[in-house]
Amino acid sequence: MSVPCEQCPLRLTPLFRPFSENELGFIGRMKTDHIVVAPRAHIMHEDEIGGPVYTLFEGWAIRYHRLPNGGRQILDIMLPGDTIGLASALLGRIKHSVQAITTATLCVLEARSFPDLFSDHPALALNILQTRLAEEQRMDIRLSLLGRSDAEQRIAYLMLETFDRLRQRGIGHGGSTCPFPLQRRDLADAVGLSTVHVGRTLGSLRERRLADIQNGMLILFDREKLAELASYVPTGDAKGRRAIL
């Protein structure tokens, strides 16, 4: 069941900028569909050419890269409000796939509208660029994480970052717990470790009563200590900058 952009609840989260009538109208016309995909379904595949742009409306997805040796690197975890497929739409070719890990619903946006968006709504266009730049900074930190942190730090950081990203989107059950549908295997491919070692590390964090993941739920027992362990600093993110629904 399609949600018109005017009534989109995501739009009201602190992640998105306020829109003018005009802008909202334009974005509304870009939206051509609203689809639901099953867990594990692919939203977009490596080497796919072109295709639409999506906004993840509900559910989780991963953006990943398959390596020639059979391995997998999860490049990013995509949460509601995240844009999927910009590179594919504007560059033509991409080097990663996107896969739903829960049931997910997506807004489908016509890629052809982008040149018009840039001509007619320069402020939106600038906000899109700003959003990409903010995402680049998040990726920079992820790079440092893989290059210069040990197993505990990597996992602790990912927990905290994901927890906070959910909060920014108005998701999360108030306390120190949030949904976390990634399995050991996914976690491993996200932080560059083996499944076994992720399991051990998780066990250690659990024993030390810092955090735990069970039954698809993340629990932060001691956010303070966890943040210190991971050198986690909550980022202001791109508050109020996102321009695409």
Partner DNA sequence: CGGCTACTTGAATACTTTCAATCCGCGTGG
Partner DNA sequence: CCACGCGGATTGAAAGTATTCAAGTAGCCG
Number of C-beta neighbours around residue 161 at 10 A: 20
203 contacts DNA (rule: CB under 7 A) = yes
Report the distance separating Cα 225 and Cα 210, nearest Å: 7
Would you state the structure tokens that stand for residue 36, as one six-digit string?
A: 């639901």
Report the distance separating Cα 156 and Cα 244, nearest Å: 30
* Residue in 197, 223, 239, 241 binding DNA, rule: CB under 7 A: 197
Closest contact distance (angstroms) between CB of 220 and a copy of itself is 20
208 contacts DNA (rule: CB under 7 A) = no
* Residue in 91, 216, 234, 240 binding a copy of itself, rule: CB under 8 A: 91
Report the distance separating Cα 146 and Cα 75, nearest Å: 11
The interface with DNA within residues 138-177 (CB under 7 A) comprises 150-151
The interface with a copy of itself within residues 120-149 (CB under 8 A) comprises 122-123, 125-126, 128-130, 132-137, 139-144, 146-149
From the list DNA, a copy of itself, none, partner contacted by residue 1 (C-beta under 5 to 8 A by kind): none
Closest contact distance (angstroms) between CB of 7 and a copy of itself is 28
From the list DNA, a copy of itself, none, partner contacted by residue 70 (C-beta under 5 to 8 A by kind): none
Question: Contact positions toward DNA, by CB under 7 A?
Answer: 150-151, 183-185, 192-197, 199-200, 202-203
